[in-house]
Amino acid sequence: MATGIPKGYRSLNLPSLRLDYRNKAPTSEILQTPPVEVERLWEFGSEQTAPNRLYFAENLGALAALLSDSSVCGQVRLVYIDPPFATKSVFQSRTLNHAYEDVLHGEEFIEFLRKRLILLRELLAEDGSIYVHLDEKMVFHIKVIMDEIFGVENYRNCITRKKCNPKNYTRKKYGNISDYILFYTKSDRYIWNRPLEIWTEARAKEYQYIEPETGRRFMKVPVHAPGIRHGATGEPWRGKMPPTGKHWQFPPDKLDEFDARGEIFWSSNGNPRRKVYLDENAGIGVQDIWMDYKDAHNQNIKITGYPTEKNPDLLKRIIEASSNAGDLVLDCFSGSGTTLAAASLLNRRWIGVDNSREAIKTTLVRFAKGTEAMGDFVNRQAKQEGRLLFDFEQALPPANAHDPITDFSLFAERSLSSLLGEPTKHHAPPAAAAVAAG
């Protein structure tokens, strides 16, 4: 089999590609988007700014407003967004309250998302990352758009997520059980805490050899790599040249060190292999197919009941991989608040934006009470429609059941603030942190 010599397309100077369509606005025009005017409905503690913020606002104008905030612009380490998927559908919560409309499609949808991605790029820190969650209908279009905005050299992955259990549909095509997450960075210098899957007996089967002297499990790996080299790694070692078209992975003196420690396995015909020990490897690096983060699929899973709610462990993986404690995480399609709750749990600062009243209410209830078992949520009929509870005491869960999230300020676009009723204005105590389910 022929062996390729990988270069990576980042070094190939590929011609740039563009996706052209009607009414595609110039970037300069998008960067001049008028900011929305917001008012603070209440704030955490007595500080003028809270470590975290939740905005009830249209997100394009809210992002434009954040561009002029020096504590945010260029400071966001991680963006995760789960925008509408261009389904041409209207979504309701499990209590049949209107949640949001996903009616844009085609070029309208592309431009809608492109505008927000351009502003998000400005908000990102130089070492920041962005994850965009999409399905098969638009992921390919948005991939080209993100190449334009962030640069093809800053594309990292298209992650495939198994979103649900197999369906027994009879339509004439393969069952659709996946969606996708595009992962880009702002530069080649970005935060990366490599996620690992811990070893199991099944995963560790490649470590099939046992070292008699120590009882340690190991696998054998080649000590050569593709490509010809003319330095030390292309010279003979122990009287052997590397195989044709290859070079030693390490200089001969380093290979000598391995051999002196007993870490080179010599085959019966004198070919060297390096021993890699299982106990020196914390786990296997996470790959780009994620099987374990399905959406709610059984009665024991706890949810908010908001449509298209994502698995919180999915967000925890992304947040831990691409940010550090104290970093700022932003989700401008925050929905039920999964990203915000996960960020809070992992000691990150956060900003969430959504223009759905149902989303804001769901998020605040989540902050106050946590999530509830899927079956219980479906069967319970809420009788509080229209009642806004900034009286947190009535929403508190039993002791030790949930640690409420209260360290944030709530803002509303002026044109929308009346939809949240009349909470206590400004300097509300931490106990006044939630809107109850309606």
**186-230, pLDDT tens digit by residue?**
999 999 999 998 888 777 888 999 999 899 999 999 999 999 999
Q: Are 255 and 272 in contact (CB under 8 A)?
A: yes
CA 69/CA 52 separation, integer angstroms: 14
Q: What's the N-to-C CA distance of the chain in angstroms? A: 64
H or E element at residue 319? helix 312-322
CATH number for the domain running over 26-195+286-420: 3.40.50.150
pTM of the model: 0.81
* Closest alpha carbon to 286 in 215, 212, 194, 399: 194
Tell whether the model's pLDDT for residue 26 goes beyond 50.
Answer: yes
CA distances from 380 to 303, 362, 377 (A): 13, 15, 5
Residue type, 377: F
pLDDT tens readout for residues 48-63: 556 899 999 999 999 9
DSSP labels for 96-109?
--EEEEE---HHHH
Torsion of CA 273, 279, 285, 286, to 10 degrees: 130
- Ordered by start, the domain boundaries in the chain are 26-195+286-420, 203-280
CA distances from 45 to 50, 137, 210, 431, 433 (A): 8, 44, 60, 10, 11
Tell whether the model's pLDDT for residue 426 goes beyond 50.
Answer: no
Query: What confidence score (pLDDT) does residue 100 get?
Result: 47
Query: What confidence score (pLDDT) does residue 173 get?
Result: 84
DSSP state of 43: -
CA 91/CA 111 separation, integer angstroms: 22
CA 385/CA 403 separation, integer angstroms: 25
CA 355/CA 346 separation, integer angstroms: 25
H or E element at residue 81? strand 76-81
For the purposes of burial, counting CB atoms within 10 Å of the CB of 133, is it exposed (0-12), middle (13-18) or buried (19 or more)? buried
Residues 6+ apart with CB under 8 A from 292: 162, 313
Q: 80 forms bridges with which residues in the sheet?
A: 131
CA 249/CA 203 separation, integer angstroms: 25
Query: What confidence score (pLDDT) does residue 118 get?
Result: 98
Query: What confidence score (pLDDT) does residue 418 get?
Result: 75
Token representation of residue 10: 């980042």
* Closest alpha carbon to 145 in 155, 160, 159: 155
* Closest alpha carbon to 337 in 313, 319, 310: 310
* Closest alpha carbon to 128 in 156, 158, 161, 160: 156
Residues 6+ apart with CB under 8 A from 103: 88, 89, 90
Residues 6+ apart with CB under 8 A from 256: none
Query: What confidence score (pLDDT) does residue 90 get?
Result: 53
pLDDT tens readout for residues 85-103: 444 455 444 555 544 454 5
pLDDT tens readout for residues 344-394: 999 999 999 999 888 898 899 889 888 777 665 444 444 444 344 344 444
Look at 124-128, 237-241, 257-261, 369-373 and tell me which has the smallest mean pLDDT: 369-373
For residues 407 and 184, which has the higher predicted lDDT (pLDDT)?
A: 184
Give buried/exposed letters for 330-368 (b at 16+ CB in 10 A, else e).
bbbbbbbbbbbbbbbebebbbbbbbbbbbbbbbbbbbbb
